[in-house]
Amino acid sequence: ISMENSSSVKEFILLGLSENRGAQKIYFVVFLLFYTLTVAGNLLIVLTVTSSRHLNSPMYFFLCHLSFIDVCYSSVTAPQMISGFLVENNTISFAGCIGQLFGFHFFGCTEIFILTAMAYDRYVAICRPLHYGALMSRRLCGRMVGGSWAGGFLHSTLQTLPTALLPFCGPNKVAHYFCDVHPLLHLACADTRAAGLAAVANSGVISLSCFLILVASYVVILVSLRGKTLAGWRKALSTCGSHITMVILFFGPCTFVYIRLPSDLSEDRSVAVFYTLIAPMLNPLIYTLRNGEVKGAVRKLCRRKVGSRN
């Protein structure tokens, strides 16, 4: 994509979460802590899964990719937001803004597809346990992950290209803490109703359709558990609990923002914090606290690191 736009705007000013200088200092400490925990926790999951010989099932293969995506996803927006709390005008170049827009939708959409693939994995594990090994082969898992990355790239391209080609000739203050489609459409010197509808149709339909697929998969799982013993219910729900929690934390706010035309950008940026930073931060906590195998592998990894240092 050529970044030489016909606009006169060469850079944007990100207004952030608040223009109150006192609140910004508090936000700086809080979100720096959140981002540090996000990167450290998710990288720990990646290192644990890749170094453990026991965590080789499809579920952990998907979890490893999910954690890696969460690091990339939060890194697209969080560093710019955090550094912005320390300066009076948090500026970003036009090319940087478009790059941030692309990266945000690329990793966000890829995460949506990975979460959907994980739901299929849980469905096969619970409803078709005898055929699990044949249905969830390494080749299929690789294709599902590859398809998720390709789908994220296609979605992001279709979302970014029309926005990058819009003329920006006047105001350059983005009412958000990162460059997203809706705030940029408000600044374009053109009729953006068609572009706004296309953005909703693109992001909104993907979010809502994948969310409905996830809900349907868990309805099927619950129906299949009829007649099972209490122990069977506990085992099945324990394997799904972490995934359900992540789906609610990520899809709830994300669907709220993108399934409708924007009316209150200040409301959108407050909700966006949940799926850009809080959900990625909680991902490793949710999966380690609820999964004995992951906790055991993390302990072994930490013991090996401490032993090697000694």
Per-residue pLDDT of 128-164, as tens digits, reads 888 888 889 989 999 999 999 999 999 999 989 988 8
Domains assigned to the chain: 11-300 (1.20.1070.10)
pLDDT of residue 150: 96
**Cα dist. 153→95, 108, 178 in Å?**
18, 10, 19
Residue type, 1: I
pTM of the model: 0.86
Q: What is the mean pLDDT of residues 188-194?
A: 82
Higher pLDDT, 248 or 32: 32
- Order of strands, sheet of 11-14, starting from the edge strand that comes earlier in the sequence: 90-93, 11-14, 173-174
How confident is the model at residue 57, as a pLDDT?
A: 85
Label residue 277 exposed, middle or buried (CB < 10 Å: 0-12, 13-18, 19+): buried
Average pLDDT of every residue of the chain: 83
In the predicted model, is pLDDT for residue 299 greater than 60? yes
Rounded average pLDDT over 19-34: 88
Percent pLDDT > 70 in the chain is 86
Residue 289 confidence (pLDDT): 62
pLDDT value for 264: 59
Q: What is the pLDDT of residue 90?
A: 87
The Cα–Cα gap between 131 and 152 comes to: 30
Residue 250 confidence (pLDDT) above 60: yes
| Among 61, 64, 76, CA closest to 109 | 76
Q: Locate tokens 């693939």: which residue?
A: 117
Q: Determine the Cα–Cα distance for residues 96 and 252; give it in Å rounded to an integer.
A: 28
- CA-nearest of 128, 94, 105, 138 to 4 is 94
Give the pLDDT confidence score for residue 126 in this predicted structure: 82
Specify the pLDDT at position 232.
65
